[in-house]
Structure 1
């Protein structure tokens, strides 16, 4: 059986690549600035997407043009906003924290679907949401109750939390996705992401904080453009095709696990007791919520 027909290998590789994005964001510090990284990432990903989806994009252009406003909002929130905040947060927090907070997206989506569409939420799902939120709060407070009461949160953790809330909103809104095939749809969002990232890099240049990539910076850009930006997206779409969106979505829960392994292994980050407890709460909350699925 070909690799592309093995859903568990594909989805496992997808989550490993996504966790590697957090590692890359930390390795980029001092070698390329966050907004330059964001823009050049989309240049690379867009180039690859045009090569494989350009013809389909042109054939579906009438439908894409009719829904361009919706695509613009989705691209700004789900792609540009998420990645910009993701890479900025890496300046202030660890890859382990980024991965654990990113792991809370599934329950954010669950809560968002209830708020927007009144999708029924069972008691177990509500309990899972509360447990996951407790895990994220513990992580942001670094295990110190005084941080919670004094609101002295790490800026990077807060930025990553906002990024995840935005991506959860994007995911919930996908329910209203227009009738566009997956690859042309992704190409359209990538075009929006590149265009909307240009003002951000302009602000970085105006403030004198822009840093063009050195050799290591270019290698990091190559990684985030090709693997998280391109390969992981195609792999995840293939995983959904093979086993369905519900079962494929559960694999996102592996991202914080991979991050908890890769952060200390590659970056030498400390894995403290509150990381372990937060990881258990986030994964446990998701498990509880999933056990309550209709």
Structure 2
């Protein structure tokens, strides 16, 4: 029963993150990435701290003793990944961003082997290569021969940087098992905001209070910021970064469904590239 609950948590986490691509694309035309990240996590920490106190009753003094690693997690998972994602969405589609993001599980597997000494089997190496080929199909619009002479979409390249940052965040999450997950997210988000606030004065126009922006910010502040992070961190602690990472493929599936439902086109190169990435991540799970 506990295993089923963890798998459900991971599915829901990625469903809400898929919505982040859709709503993020909708809002990024009216807010700067710094503003989006700041307002998103301001909403989140106002809820995360009370939830943690009610559900986990953490020893806050012990939690704050881990502030260096929590600050690093805040800089990576709270500021770094989200900032890069929202900048990327200014230049690329939500579906393309999620397709590049689909390579993340394979990266997590390889870096978990490198830094956490998780076994790196032949199947995982082959899976990473397949995932890389799939992402390159997306980046080159299906023309792999253009790899060394094409000008890549800036948004797609920023997404490659974003998934590298997220990989580092996921691996760090394994090193604070003694801290309750919600408390860890709350403190890391708060520390991240302390840094981000210094960039707000240079982030552009004032916050526009229209319905489109309010709905978008409320969604990304509540669902991907609170529920997804809680579910994701709970999953990593129970089944490990490598196994949990496989579920990140669902982001692309959910994003594609939402994009099609909203009338956005899906191209053949995106479908083929996505399928190869999925196949590559599946191969990484084989015990060979």
- Asked whether the two chains share a fold, i.e. TM above 0.5, the reply is yes
Instruction: Mark the runs of 5 or more structure 2 residues left unpaired by the alignment.
Output: none
Instruction: Mark the runs of 5 or more structure 1 residues left unpaired by the alignment.
Output: none
Does 2:222 correspond to 1:226?
Answer: yes
Q: 1:282 aligns with which of 270, 277, 283?
A: 277
**TM-score when scaled to structure 2?**
0.89
User: C-alpha deviations, 1:213-239, integer Å up to 9, x for none?
Assistant: 422101100000111111223344566
The 2-side partners of 1:279 and 1:228 are apart by 22
Q: After the TM superposition, which of the residue ranges 5-14 and 256-265 deviates more from structure 2?
A: 5-14
Confirm or deny: 8 A CA contact 1:94 1:269 kept in the other structure.
no
Does 2:63 correspond to 1:64?
Answer: yes
Q: After the TM superposition, which of the residue ranges 109-118 and 275-284 deviates more from structure 2?
A: 109-118
* RMSD (Å) for aligned C-alpha atoms: 2.5
Return closer, same or farther for 1:108/1:202 CA change in 2, 3 Å cut-off: farther
Return closer, same or farther for 1:57/1:30 CA change in 2, 3 Å cut-off: same
The 2-side partners of 1:126 and 1:161 are apart by 19
Structure 1 runs of 4+ with >6 Å offset? 55-58
SS in 1 for 2:179: coil
**TM-score when scaled to structure 1?**
0.87
Return closer, same or farther for 1:150/1:202 CA change in 2, 3 Å cut-off: farther
Q: 1:269 aligns with which of 257, 264, 273?
A: 264
Confirm or deny: 8 A CA contact 2:85 2:159 kept in the other structure.
yes
SS in 2 for 1:92: coil
The 2-side partners of 1:58 and 1:160 are apart by 36
How far residue 265 of structure 1 moved from its aligned partner, in angstroms, is 2.0
Confirm or deny: 8 A CA contact 1:264 1:271 kept in the other structure.
yes
How far residue 28 of structure 1 moved from its aligned partner, in angstroms, is 0.8
Matched ranges for 1:234-249 at <5 A:
234-236=230-232, 244-245=239-240, 248-249=244-245
How far residue 257 of structure 1 moved from its aligned partner, in angstroms, is 1.0
